Amino acid sequence: MDNDDLLAPHRPDAAWNCGDCGEPWPCPVFRARLRSLYHGDPEKLTTFMRHFHERAAVDLVDLPPAQIEARFLGWISDPPPRRRLRSI
């Protein structure tokens, strides 16, 4: 799978928002996709996201560096949200 396949849909736009849902990118849908893809290997996920973090830091000059880092890298160590099971 190449990066174009991984990013489509929920690709970032020029302002680093999700082109599909409008959330700040990486959006929750894309984060979930990455967590699934890189399950058990947060170091590879961090390496992958560092590429975007570095590019976004150049574009998002109005945001504090700590906010950019939290947005692109801070969520990686957070456990994924728990899903509630539906009653049958």
Residues of the chain with pLDDT under 50: 1-2
Is-contact 35 26, C-beta < 8 A?
A: no
Q: Is the pTM of this model over 0.85?
A: no
**Sign of the alpha-carbon dihedral angle for 22, 14, 68, 56:** positive
Q: CA-to-CA distance for 56 and 63, rounded, in angstroms?
A: 10
What are the Cα distances from residue 62, in Å, to 38, 53, 59? 30, 14, 9
The chain-wide mean pLDDT, for the chain, equals 85
List CB contacts of 42: < 8 A, sequence separation 6 or more: 76, 77
What are the Cα distances from residue 21, in Å, to 17, 27, 32, 58, 70? 8, 8, 14, 23, 20
What's residue 77's pLDDT?
81
What's residue 1's pLDDT?
45
